[in-house]
Amino acid sequence: MSLSFIRKFTYLLLFVTLSLNIYIFTYPSLNPKQCSWHSKASYKSDTNIISTYLNDLYNVFFTTEDPIAAEDFTTHEDSIRMLAFGDPQIKGNWPSTPMLKRLDTYGNDHYLGHIYRVMQNRLNPSHVAVLGDLFSSQWIGDSEFFNRTRRYISRLYNLPEEQQAPLLNYMKENERVDWASHAHELKSKDLKDWDDWGFEEVYDWTTENFAKRLSKVPLLLNVSGNHDIGYSGDATWQHMTRYHKLFGKDNFWIEYNKGTPSAFRIVVLNTLLLEGPALQPEFLDYTWEFLYKLFEQRFDGSTILLTHVPFYKEEGLCVDGPFHDYYNEKNVRSEHYKVGKLRAQNHLNEEVSMRVLNLIFDKADKYPGVILTGHDHEGCETWYNLNETDFSWTASKTKSRDAPSVKEITVRAMMGEYGGNTGLLTGDFNKSRGQWDFTFTLCPFAIQHVWWVTKIVSIITVFLTSAVVVFDL
Ligand SMILES: *[C@@H]1O[C@H](CO)[C@@H](O)[C@H](O)[C@H]1NC(C)=O
Ligand SMILES: *[C@@H]1O[C@H](CO)[C@@H](O)[C@H](O)[C@H]1NC(C)=O
């Protein structure tokens, strides 16, 4: 008996569906070197892609030889495992948004969430950093900001319920943020008391004293971008307040292993509020005050700096060259009070870059450091080499042989158009040298259409298969 055409077609579709689904759930195994922690040495780089892929699948599913994968991160004695995501930039819907566009936005959330879940399951990170531009626009109202926050904490980063609950409650109880009282509260204090910027030994934001990691949920570190709080010519108290309430401090540090050889700290810095002219100049004072406080810690250890805007570099080193733009009568539309204020920037300016590098990496001669940024979408790696006579730092493609240097990694965007990337920062403490080694790799997925096609083909296959079975076609 020959098979009916429809039956043959269904078999074909079943095969395609299965392959696509296997692909989207195991894509890191096609690229195991870039999609694994650096120290997971078991990756012999096979020249044959099929055997590389199968070998990696076997490792992921059947071996537990990697001690890191089993670790519950109650200490960071000799390992740091950080996932870094650049610019997810989730979009929103307006009453006039057409149905298809809404579906696209919905799918995009799940596409980003899929990447996060696959990488989290595979790698069991200790930290997850989102390097700014969580959302796509700073010109949205509180209601839309809340709506995107809800999507961010559920569809994208899938936070445990107890972590979501206080945020959901806040958004339920407040139709909009009460920025006036937040501003009043902070402004009535001395600048140095605006915030408690420093933490120690944080493993889980939800446990008492943050001291213990209760589940496999990694520590989420949000970094603010120009679309979240805004460029300094845009940022208002309303922007600042809602970010503080829902995403936490825009500047803070966490120290680990203080006083031991493997001491290190994570610094989250809002680089958008370092330069003016600013709409609210007090924000600049607040950010600089943070940097002075950080410097005064005289911390003996390595630093991982997480921020949105990259440091100054000449044209040609990365895709983005130096660029600053200011509001004028032409581009300001109706908001005339913004004229002259900072409207956009690609980098920190040269002078601010030097000051910030000297305040944060003042001990780079002894302790290696690393910088992760976002903003330019394309991705780039740059060395900042210190001139020890005048304390200037020069951006370069190569590391200086004899002067202290810090590597800046601009992480390629997570957005579908850029291929759904995940950055992996591995920190390994080298006991013999008494120093941290940092390694960064980028693990790409595929444009969002691949994910979409997989979902659509899967749905069609389910229908067709049921029809074939039920009606015996
Ligand atoms: C946010 O979501 C709620 C509930 O779905 C909706 O009523 C509201 O209009 C949304 N806000 C905006 C600005 O679209
Ligand atoms: C980052 O944002 C999430 C979601 O809003 C929140 O649960 C988490 O506590 C924030 N992290 C920090 C350090 O505030």
Read off the pLDDT of residues 399-413 as tens digits, 9 standing for 90 and up: 999 899 999 999 999
Q: Is residue 217 part of a domain?
A: yes
Q: Are 114 and 416 in contact (CB under 8 A)?
A: no
How many angstroms separate the CA atoms of 24 and 451, rounded?
7
Q: Is residue 433 part of a domain?
A: yes
Q: Is the pLDDT of residue 65 over 60?
A: no
Residues in contact with ligand 2 by the CB-under-6-Å rule are 149, 153, 159, 163, 167, 205, 220-222, 246-248
Q: Is residue 361 part of a domain?
A: yes
Instruction: Give the pLDDT confidence score for residue 83 in this predicted structure.
Output: 97
How sure is the predictor about 41, in pLDDT bands with cuts at 50, 70 and 90?
A: low
Tell me the pairing of strands 342-345 and 324-326. antiparallel
Q: Ligand 2 atom 1: the closest Cα is on which residue? A: 247
Count of domains forming the chain: 1
- Give the residue, out of 177, 195, 220, with the most ligand 2 atoms within 8 A of its beta carbon, to mutate for a pocket test: 220
Q: Is residue 311 part of a domain?
A: yes
The mean predicted confidence, pLDDT, of the chain is: 92
Q: Is the pLDDT of residue 380 over 90?
A: yes
Residues 13-31, mean pLDDT to the nearest whole number: 95
How sure is the predictor about 49, in pLDDT bands with cuts at 50, 70 and 90?
A: confident
| Size (the chain), residues | 473
CATH number reported for the structural domain that contains residue 208 in this entry: 3.60.21
CA of 205 to the centre of ligand 2 (A): 8
Q: Is residue 155 part of a domain?
A: yes
Which ligand is closest in space to the CA of residue 96?
1
Q: Is residue 88 part of a domain?
A: yes
How many angstroms separate the CA atoms of 234 and 310, rounded?
19
Read off the pLDDT of residues 107-141 as tens digits, 9 standing for 90 and up: 999 999 999 999 999 998 999 999 999 999 988 99
| Residue 261, amino acid | P
Q: Is the pLDDT of residue 98 over 80?
A: yes
Instruction: Give the pLDDT confidence score for residue 69 in this predicted structure.
Output: 54
Residue 366: enclosing H or E segment and its boundaries?
none
The SS3 assignment for 446 reads coil
- Closest to 302 measured CA to CA, from 357, 354, 256: 256
The model's pTM is 0.95
Q: What range defines the domain where residue 343 resides?
A: 83-443
Instruction: Give the pLDDT confidence score for residue 68 in this predicted structure.
Output: 57
CA of 132 to the centre of ligand 1 (A): 23
Q: Ligand 1 atom 5: the closest Cα is on which residue? A: 147
**Closest-lying ligand 1 atom to the alpha carbon of residue 94:** 14
Query: Checking phi first, is residue 396 left (phi over 0); if not, alpha (psi -120 to 50) or beta?
Result: beta
